[in-house]
């Protein structure tokens, strides 16, 4: 067997990293069939044939159940098996041309999730066939386990993002509903408009399932949010945007700026009592985009503001660390009586990396 098995592994692994499905199985089975001079090659999961190439295709049907008793035994035990006769293979179809096979299961977290099957017709399976099958199955198992971990990690990240959306600041909900209730008596037309805006705001928040959006889209969300705070604070609140046009196309984590603006208003300006300004700044920086939200509110002594940052701000910090590492964590500077600035850096992202 002169084919470099390592080359086959390198070629197959990127496909298996997406998980064990018909596409990855078909690519792998055809690759091995064509390069290992086999009579047939199959990839199965625990219930059905995912891919089959070679002799016996008329009854070893893709999508159908695995026919051979030996396959069931390999899946059930998690052990490789080799058969050197039709009787040992236990194919129920009379006249099946396959006379020997080696079956090596894929093991993920201690359980068989499928198997690789290398067949010969008329010639016996040799020890080299068995070794190749077992070695390939072990390597593929590692890749499939990594694919499962990737999928679980993505689900966790999505669950965290959904949880953030589901618990968007209870203070914001309470304050907005209180403002709308008050306006129903003094300005019913504006109260009506705010109710409509309120519904659209949450519809847009909950409908956004991407991990990343352009900064321009994130700032649109901020401006939606500010319509409610404007109704609450009126002329006491001013918000200034200093955003370089080049920064607007940068990709940022969804809900990364709005919680910081909310934090500046709730914990910076509201306790101040008088008028205040929130500034949102963004500009291209070294290898990415620099974003900062500042206020001229009450400020605090660094290290002594226990529990005052809010769910949203803490969540932003945790997600930035997880996505980009500690270099992108929130940087908070504050002077009592003068205000607070919260800044972070988002590295440049290619569109494919932000899916």
Q: Are residues 280 and 323 in the same domain?
A: yes
Domain assignment of residue 162, yes or no: no
Q: Are residues 181 and 278 in the same domain?
A: yes
Domain boundary among 100, 123, 154: 154
Q: What is the C-alpha to C-alpha distance for residues 172 and 178, in angstroms, rounded to an integer?
A: 10
CB 295 within 8 A of CB 339: yes
**Domain boundary residue among 123, 154, 185?**
154
CATH number of the domain to which 344 belongs:
3.30.565.10
Query: Same domain, yes or no, for 173 and 318?
Result: yes
pTM of the predicted model as reported, rounded to 2 decimal places: 0.51
Q: Are residues 131 and 26 in the same domain?
A: yes
pLDDT value at position 355? 47
Residue 161 lies in a domain: no
Residue with tokens 């300006």: 269
Distance CA 124, CA 119 (A): 9
Q: Is residue 273 classed as helix, strand or coil in its secondary structure?
A: coil
- Looking at residue 7, its pLDDT comes to 62
The answer to the question of residue 159 being in a domain is: no
Q: What is the domain count for the chain? A: 2
Q: What is the pLDDT of residue 183?
A: 76
Q: Phi first, then psi: what are they for 148, rounded to 5°?
A: -65, -40
Nearest-angstrom CA–CA distance, 16 and 10: 11
Burial code of 247-262, b = ≥16 C-beta within 10 A, e = fewer?
A: beebbbbbbbbbbbbb
Establish how many alpha carbons lie within 13 A of residue 283's alpha carbon, considering only the half-sphere containing its beta carbon.
4
Q: Answer with the one of 87, 122, 154 that is the final residue of a domain.
A: 154
The pLDDT of residue 164 is 54
Parent domain of 255: 167-354
Task: Verify that 313 and 220 share a domain, yes or no.
Answer: yes
Q: What is the CATH number of the domain that holds 62?
A: 3.30.450.40
What residues contact 305, with CB distance under 8 A and at least 6 apart?
334
Q: What span, in angstroms and rounded, lies between the C-alpha atoms of 69 and 76?
A: 11
37: DSSP letter: T
- Are 233 and 350 contained in the same domain? yes
Q: What pLDDT, on a 0 to 100 scale, did the predictor assign at position 342?
A: 95
Q: In the chain, which residues have pLDDT < 70?
A: 1-18, 147, 149-175, 202-209, 302-312, 349-355
Same domain, 319 and 175: yes
| Strand intervals (E) in 157-221 | 212-214
């Amino acid at each position: 067997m002169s084919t470099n098995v390592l080359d086959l592994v390198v070629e197959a692994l990127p496909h298996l990293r997406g998980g064990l499905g018909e596409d990855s199985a078909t690519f792998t089975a055809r690759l091995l069939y064509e390069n290992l001079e086999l009579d047939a090659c199959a990839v199965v999961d625990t219930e059905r044939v995912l891919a089959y190439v070679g002799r016996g295709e008329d009854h070893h049907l893709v999508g159908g159940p695995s026919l051979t008793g030996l396959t069931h035994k390999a899946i059930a035990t998690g052990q490789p098996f080799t058969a050197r006769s039709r009787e040992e293979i236990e194919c129920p179809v009379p006249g099946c041309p396959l006379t020997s096979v080696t079956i090596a299961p894929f093991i993920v977290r201690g359980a068989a999730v499928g198997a690789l099957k290398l067949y010969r017709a008329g010639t016996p399976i040799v020890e080299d066939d068995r070794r190749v099958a077992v070695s390939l199955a072990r390597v593929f198992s590692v890749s499939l386990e990594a694919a499962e971990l990737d999928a679980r990690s993505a689900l966790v990240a999505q669950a965290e993002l959904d949880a953030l959306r589901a618990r968007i600041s209870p203070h914001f909900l309470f304050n907005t509903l209180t403002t709308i209730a008050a306006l129903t008596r003094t300005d019913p037309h504006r109260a009506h408009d705010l109710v409509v805006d309120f519904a659209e705001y949450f519809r847009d928040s909950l409908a956004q399932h991407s991990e990343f959006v352009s900064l321009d889209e994130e700032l649109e969300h901020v401006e939606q949010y500010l319509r409610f705070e404007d109704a609450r604070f009126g002329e006491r609140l001013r918000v200034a945007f200093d955003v370089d046009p080049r920064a607007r196309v940068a990709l940022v984590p969804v809900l990364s700026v709005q919680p910081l603006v909310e934090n500046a208003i709730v914990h910076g300006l509201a306790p101040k009592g008088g008028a205040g300004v929130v500034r949102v700044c963004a500009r291209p920086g070294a290898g990415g985009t620099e974003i900062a939200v500042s206020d001229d509110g009450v400020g605090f002594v660094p290290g002594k503001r226990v529990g005052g940052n809010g769910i949203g701000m803490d969540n932003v910090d945790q997600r930035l660390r997880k996505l980009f590492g500690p270099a992108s964590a929130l940087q908070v500077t504050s002077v009592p009586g003068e205000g607070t600035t919260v800044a972070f850096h988002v590295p440049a992202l290619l569109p494919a990396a932000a899916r």
